[in-house]
Chains A and B, each alone.
Chain A
Amino acid sequence: MSLIKNLKRKFFYFVLIAYSAFTVVPFLWSLSTSAKPQDEVFQSNILPHHATVKAYVTVFKHIQPSFPSLFANSLFIASVVVVLHLVFASLAGYAFARLKFPGRDLLFYVVLGTMMIPDQLRLVPIYQLLVKMGLINSHPSNYLAIFLVKAISATDIFLIRQFFLSIPRELEDAAKIDGAGPFGTFTKIMLPNAMPVLATVAILTFQGTWNDLFWPSIVLQSPNHWTLPFGILEFKGQFSTDWPPIMALVVLSTLPILAIYIFGQRFIINMQLSSSVKG
């Protein structure tokens, strides 16, 4: 009996470890390929026989736009979008959770309803609108187009509203007795207490914007404005079978997200999910 149990247990761990290998090894493989010379690319050695940084020199110096430019654009766009989401979603989330005003519930349902509209339906009319506004161009104002498209998120408003609803009313009542108005209550009581959900929104927005391919590939006109995923799409076509530099781009574009994931894991895993599933 205990022998069978022991075997079962071993098999259980074997499955867990085998599947972990399945999820992690491909990334190690991309790292290894990025350090291989071209003739070793399809050999099955995981450690390169003749390790080289040539691929990294290529993506830093020889491609146009270079990796630093793609990185800077991704970082700039993702950071601005994070700030926009934090400001708009916390203001709206607080108003929908706590303030009483005519039309509140109707407007909240409108916000939720917009979640049903797929981005691909918005593609044509938004593109037309941006053309009319003169934002589809190769000047820096092109960035405004992507900020406008990505400025608002119904999910983030929903997440923050749910969190505010869970904060005890006594906290606000205490502030009110001290003479704080709605705005004072918001900045002095609600925001400091909402740090976990704000961190979650910031991390998920950053990750989503950093990884997005759809809108940048449609809106961004000049190669000088391209983001990393857009760069990968374009260079994959250009390099075709020159895999080491492509894998170098894959590795370099994933590292920042990996770092954020490691530091922000507890926010991503614990917060986002419990609030979205439990509603």
Chain B
Amino acid sequence: MLAVATRPPNSVAARQKRRRMWNEAFVGWGFISVPMALFLVLSVGIFFYAIYISTYKWGMLGPRGFVGLKNYKQAFHDPIFLKSIRNSVLYAVLVVPLQTALGLLLALLVNSKIKGAKFFRAAFYFPSIASSAAITTLFIFLLAPAGLFNQVLSFFGVNVPNLFNQGAWLSDSRTALLSIVGLNMWTTSGTMMLFYLANLQSIDGSLMEAGVMDGATRRQVFWYITMPLLKPAHFFVVTSGMIGALQLYDQAILAGGADGSPDYSLMTMVLYIYNACFRQFEFGLASAIGIILFVIIFSLTLLQRFAFGSSAWRGE
């Protein structure tokens, strides 16, 4: 009764309120209209278009007939594609733990009470700011047979010409991918350090103090209190690191060219897509591999989300 008395459905106030609501809704739709249209076309629509293309034989001049899942079959019968999966996965499996551990270590170092913490933080982040093109080119120069890296090795008494690869790190198929692991561990750990730092600084220090009061050793405090509290950062760093690693392209094409030389040791999944697209003009095949890459990334993300528990994703 009271509700009716204070808000009769057709009173001036109610009409005004409804008008304000609609006004707000229109402004809301207006604000999101352009970006949302772009998302719906260039991300959502494009996603389905990719699935569509992947079921066609599709060349320079457009579709040449529906082939169903043939592009997918063709991909899995190509030894170079299988090698590209192996390379991308091996690379991710190596680089993610390394860059995560190094990033965490750097964050812990910089977060402790030291003189010049700001300087060290800036220095450690430094390799993360340059473009991958610039940094990879620099890296190739440093790792050249006569380059700085081998000069330093010689300085420490290593007989470089006698090494199993004669010091040709990037042109030996046994060490090329490992060298790129080293490169990206070095550049990406700075970014990972920042994510861990942000998380470390949001932790209430009294929790650690309580641990110490209860007689825990520093190591116990670290493993049983600090590490679990860093769960949001672990999740973010591992997931984004994994996605980034599976998308390896810039460093591979710069160091090994479009063929991922030597001997396809730098042929990654994305480089394979690039080749299928712009050298063989097999757009159907390229699309199919894009879908395969998406499925791998998507399932790994779900798996990690499951492993870390869903609360980590929301950062609670």
Question: Contact mask B262-281 → A, CB, 8 Å, 1/0?
Answer: 00000001100110011000
Residues from chain A with a CB closer than 8 A to the CB of B315 are 277-279
| Complex-state Cα separation, A29 to B127, whole angstroms | 13
Number of A-B contacts (CB under 8 A): 267
The B1-41 residues at the A interface (CB cut-off 8 A) are 21, 23-29, 31-32, 34-36, 38-40
Q: Output the nearest chain B residue to A236 by Cβ-Cβ distance.
A: B137
The A43-69 residues at the B interface (CB cut-off 8 A) are 44
Interface residues in B, total, Cβ within 8 A? 92
Whether A125 lies near B50 (C-beta < 8 A) is yes
Q: Output the nearest chain B residue to A251 by Cβ-Cβ distance.
A: B134
Q: How far is the CB of B218 from chain A (nearest CB, A)?
A: 12
If A100-B25, A213-B133 are given as contacts, then 13 extra A-B residue pairs at C-beta distance below 8 Å, sorted by A number, are A16-B120, A23-B190, A24-B123, A26-B142, A29-B138, A92-B36, A100-B28, A101-B24, A119-B247, A126-B46, A181-B27, A257-B130, A279-B232
Task: Tell which of B23, B243, B278 touches A182, judged by Cβ atoms closer than 8 Å.
Answer: B23
**Interface residues of B, dominant DSSP:** helix
Residues from chain B with a CB closer than 8 A to the CB of A257 are 129-131
Whether A19 lies near B106 (C-beta < 8 A) is yes
Residues from chain B with a CB closer than 8 A to the CB of A123 are 273-274, 277, 286, 290
Q: Output the nearest chain B residue to A85 by Cβ-Cβ distance.
A: B35
- Give chain A's interface residues, CB within 8 Å of chain B: 12-13, 15-16, 19-20, 22-24, 26-27, 29-30, 33, 42, 44, 88-89, 91-92, 94-96, 99-102, 104, 107, 110-111, 114, 116-129, 148-149, 151-152, 154, 157, 181-183, 186, 207, 210-214, 218, 228-230, 232-233, 236-237, 243, 246-247, 249-250, 253-254, 257-258, 261, 265, 268-269, 272-274, 276-279
Whether A128 contacts B53 in the complex (CB less than 8 A), given A257-B130, A257-B131, A277-B199, comes out as yes
Could you list 8 A-B pairs, sorted by A, with CB under 8 Å? A20-B119, A96-B32, A102-B25, A120-B249, A122-B43, A181-B27, A211-B133, A229-B250
Q: How far is the CB of A171 from chain B (nearest CB, A)?
A: 17
- Give chain B's interface residues, CB within 8 Å of chain A: 21, 23-29, 31-32, 34-36, 38-40, 42-44, 46-47, 49-50, 53, 106, 109, 114, 116, 119-127, 129-134, 137-142, 144, 146-148, 151, 186, 190, 194-195, 197-199, 201-202, 232-233, 236, 243, 247, 249-250, 253-254, 257, 269-270, 273-274, 277-278, 283, 286-287, 290-291, 293-294, 297-298, 301, 313-315
Q: Output the nearest chain B residue to A237 by Cβ-Cβ distance.
A: B257
Q: Output the nearest chain A residue to B145 by Cβ-Cβ distance.
A: A42
